[in-house]
Amino acid sequence: MFRGRGTSVGLFSKFFSKSDEKPKVKERTPLSIEVGDIVVYDLTDYEVVGKITYRQDSYVWYGYQMLEGNNTIWLSAEMDDELELGIYKTINLPVTYPLPKELTYQGETYYLDEEGEARVVGEGRSTNIDGRLMKYAEYCDDDEKQFISLEDWGSELEVSLGFPIEKYELKVIAGSI
């Protein structure tokens, strides 16, 4: 069947070649997390089940919906002058328009820091908001140790409480190539 001395060229050479290297997994950073990745934070493994990319003109930031059991948190990541990361949890705080300059939650006062509009790209569990324009507002306490984030999706106003974290507090494990 095979012709030639010492040559094993043929059908099976494709299956047994020495170039059967496993594809390299792309290293993830807080700015390149994907749906399906695992993020280890505070000794807990969270699966990334949703990703929102926010765009306001040329500025981009990310929100990652992370799930562990029934516990959902959001990781916010943006590159301003330096990498800024935050962990957010949804809270019940009634807010109406026009947005106030101050909010009070659990005895703490938060001051309006910025507001605007952003176009979003949603992935995973956030696919349903893909392409939408949303309004946002960010409030901070006096020490900038806690934040309240408002996201107006037209049909609902989501309110979250958050705090900054450092990059070393996260470990990202790629769930896909």
> Is 72 or 10 the better-scoring residue by pLDDT?
72
- Within 10 Å of residue 138's Cβ, how many Cβ atoms? 18
Residue 9 located in a structural domain: no
- Pair 2, 8: CB distance under 8 Å: yes
Domain span including residue 131: 26-173
DSSP SS3 for 131: coil
Q: What is the pLDDT of residues 77-134, one digit of tens each?
A: 999 899 999 999 999 999 998 999 999 999 999 999 999 999 999 999 999 999 999 9
Beta strands in the chain (DSSP E): 38-41, 44-56, 59-68, 71-79, 83-90, 102-105, 108-124, 133-140, 147-152, 157-165, 170-173
Residue 90 located in a structural domain: yes
Residue 16 located in a structural domain: no
pLDDT at 149: 98
- Pair 148, 105: CB distance under 8 Å: yes
Residue 1 located in a structural domain: no
Residue 13 located in a structural domain: no
Residue 3 located in a structural domain: no
DSSP annotation of 92 reads: -
Residue 103 located in a structural domain: yes
Q: How many domains does the chain have?
A: 1
Q: How confident is the model at residue 3 (pLDDT cuts 50, 70, 90)?
A: very low
